[in-house]
Copies of this chain bind each other. A is one copy, B any other.
Amino acid sequence: MIKSEYYTQENHGPYEIYNLGDFNLEEGDVITNCKLAYVTFGELNEVKDNAILIPTWFSGTSKNMETYIGSERALNPEKYFIIIVNQLGNGLSSSPHNMPAPLNMANFPKVRISDDVRAQHKLVTEKFGIYELALVVGGSMGAQQTYEWAVRYPDMVKRAAPIAGTAKNTPHDFLYTQTLIEAITSDPKWNGGNYQSCTEVRDGLKRHAKLWSVMGMSTEFYKQEAWRLFNVNSLDEFISGFFEPLFCEMDPNALICKAWKWQRGDVSRMTGGDLKEALGRIKAKVFVMPIDTDMFFPPRDCEDEHKLIPNSEFRVIKSICGHIGLFGAEGTDYSDQIDKHLSELLAMPVIAEEVR
């Protein structure tokens, strides 16, 4: 364990911890005393059918996703019981920096999207006794988890809204993520994942941040100097004042853990590699919601998957911010689109489960 000034209740909370006990991972390892950090909003109704689950994205924690909910929003805590759950390895849930030896730091086991979703399933069913989710919604790696939920637990997920992500990661996206990994691991201070503080790996983290600035936005974003949306006054300040601070406080092992997981997100692992069969299992009403300028989950890739889902609609979100549109820097120009689609989706009737 190393001390982190970043992954704290002050920065990201208040959040709760649920201890899953020893949790078996798909790759064969076990996380002892596996902990999920989560936060809830609203009240679970008596029949327990008003729950919404929101998993987190690569750089994010539950704090990011809180910006998606509100009493005037589609994700309304006055109507729904909303659970935001932090993915394994994100710094709040069990993660390289907060695990005791021998699973700490570079020895933290390989985690898959499937592990996250099975862990979240335990939280939802064991802790809350919920067997029906009105909606699972998440962006980027949160979309990967959303797809995994809809395929793995088709009777349980009534609606699903994967935003800016895919059910099966593309080879191109795998390569991009590999460059993110190598930006960090090529820093001599990375030292195989064994360092005393993330600040030692600052050079690598800065290169990692720079790669995000290239693939994470759009060419039009920079031409129109839309970095002003991020309250900075120059391109240089956008890098040094937004992207570098965003990543440089994070734990490099946490980023590597999540990047490995991201690279391998693939619901067709449940069907021997048959993506059509996997997506065909989904019973949820699905809104596939790519961002139009997203360079690593481009609409075209999302549309191909949308066509394989039985009850799906293709809803493209407009943003000049590329994948980073997810951060909502465009204010209501972004959130109004999200809310419009999610409101519509939530208003759609679903077939009640006969047998539970």
Contacts and interface: CB of A to CB of B under 8 A. Distances in A.
Contacts of A298: 219
A295 interface: yes
The listed residue with most B CB atoms (<10 A of its CB), out of A187, A214, A223, is: A214
A175 B223 CA distance: 12
Contact of A214 (B207, B215, B223, B301): B215
A213 interface: yes
A330 interface: no
A217 B183 CA distance: 20
Contacts of A183: 207
Interface size range of chain A in the complex? 20 to 34
A214 B179 contact: yes
Interface string A295-309: 110101100000000
Given A179-B207, A186-B207, A207-B182, A172 B301 contact: no
A58 interface: no
A219 B210 CA distance: 21
29 contacts: A170-B219, A171-B222, A171-B223, A171-B235, A172-B214, A172-B217, A172-B218, A172-B219, A172-B222, A175-B213, A175-B214, A175-B222, A175-B235, A178-B210, A179-B207, A179-B211, A179-B214, A182-B207, A183-B207, A186-B186, A186-B187, A186-B207, A214-B215, A219-B296, A219-B300, A219-B301, A220-B300, A223-B301, A295-B295
Counting every copy of the chain, the complex holds 2
A235 B219 CA distance: 27
Interface string A42-82: 00000000000000000000000000000000000000000
A277 interface: no
A176 interface: yes
Q: Binding site of A, secondary structure by majority: helix, strand, loop or mixed?
A: helix
Contacts of A170: 219, 222-223
Interface string A135-173: 000000000000000000000000000000000001111
A203 interface: yes
A7 to B, nearest CB: 27
Interface string A178-217: 1100110011100000000000000100010011011101
The listed residue with most B CB atoms (<10 A of its CB), out of A179, A187, A219, is: A219
B171 A210 contact: no
